[in-house]
Amino acid sequence: MSNPAPVAADETSTSRKNWTLGALLVLVSLALGSILLPFYAAIMWGLILSLLFTPFHRWLLLRVGHRPTVSALCTLAIVLLIVILPLTLILLLLAQEAAWLYQGLQSGDINPALYFHRAFNRLPDWVGAILDRFGLVNFATLQRRLTAAVAQGSQFAATQVFTLGQSTFEFVVSLCIALYLAFFLIRDGDTTVRAIGRMIPLAPVHRKKLWHKFATVVRATVKGNLLVALIQGALGGLAFWALGVSGALLWAVMMAACSLLPAIGAALVWLPVALYFLVTGALWQGLALTAYGVLVIGLVDNLLRPVLVGKDTRMPDYVVMITTVGGMAVFGINGFVLGPLIAAMFLSVWHIFDDTA
């Protein structure tokens, strides 16, 4: 009769080795994550650029004689030409607009309290009664509060400008990391995906499903949200320029940024301006901006976002909206990608779990 003791000892030894290997895997993964964490945004955008421009790389690869390095370099040149350079130009123009606004506030040429005074004097009596309940009917009190708010805002703006100057080197480094990573992912992306897929302990069909969902959601959220934001920002800036609103480019960029928030984003910029026009007696400007905002700017969001984002991600509009807002609250501007992506991966993993249960 054979002795089972050596078999049990071998099983115990194998189990200990597996636990040790698992613990080491967790430790080295956490260590690598802590090293990469400061540049998570650069890594994320490098991956996003590779996902967006890999189809172009494959198309170009057929025309350069299947030379992946040449095709990837040409693709990266296209990225610089149509993405990085226009964005840099917009940021430079925005910096000039912001500097002009800041100098105007400091010199007194731009006086927000005066604008509010004009609007305050034209308010109906019933509105004044409501403001009286909150202690705002006295303009002196209102002016003191506005002056304090503007002072705090100016101080914050100055701090941000100083911080931006300090972080220029960090921004350049992050941009270089993103472009460097995008080059290798564009050139060797298929090989990298297959190598990572073999390490994931899932069935091949499930790995393929998760990767497909990941790539689809990233492409849909980036292309859809950015396209909607650019269109709404451009339309809003054009309207502000036509109506003679100062700093139209600055307001356009702000509207594009707010447009990343579904449904109400762009209205956070154009609606207060329209209300100011109406209260100060510029009726046709206020009515025109309101109609333009609802029928043109709002229509872009209502028509394009569900088609470009919700249709490809196959998630309800309310899920996309909530996860976008929540993602931006947690991750900042990068959250408009990470929020819907996390939601989509959550739903996909639960579908896989339900299929295998």
Rg (CA), the chain: 27
- For residues 210 and 192, state if they share a domain: no
CA distances from 308 to 76, 247, 293, 312, 322 (A): 25, 30, 21, 7, 17
Residues 278, 354, single domain; the answer is yes
Both 227 and 353 in one domain: the answer is: yes
Q: Which domain holds residue 237?
A: 202-357
CA 207/CA 288 separation, integer angstroms: 52
Cβ 220 vs Cβ 312: under 8 Å: yes
- Res. 7: pLDDT tops 60: no
Statement to judge: residues 288 and 211 lie in one domain: yes
Q: What is the pLDDT of residues 111-137, one digit of tens each?
A: 565 666 666 666 555 555 666 665 555
What are the tens digits of pLDDT across the range 54-99? 888 888 888 877 788 888 899 889 988 888 888 777 777 766 666 6
Tell me whether residue 304 is exposed, middle or buried, using C-beta atoms within 10 angstroms of its C-beta: 0 to 12, 13 to 18, 19 or more: middle
| Residue 96 sits in the same domain as residue 192 | yes
| Whether residues 187 and 275 fall in one domain | no
- Please tell me the distance from the alpha carbon of residue 262 to that of residue 269, in angstroms, as a whole number: 14
Does the pTM of the predicted model rise above 0.75? no
How far apart CA 97 and CA 228 sit, in angstroms, is: 23
pLDDT at res. 50: 86
In contact, 43 and 177? CB cutoff 8 Å: yes
- State the DSSP H helix or E strand holding residue 203, giving kind and residue range, or none if neither: none
Longest dimension (CA), the chain: 104
Domain count, the chain: 2
Last residue of a domain, one of 199, 230, 263: 199
> What CA–CA distance (Å, rounded) separates 309 from 228?
10
Asked if 354 and 248 sit in the same domain, the reply is: yes
pLDDT at residue 208, as a whole number: 78
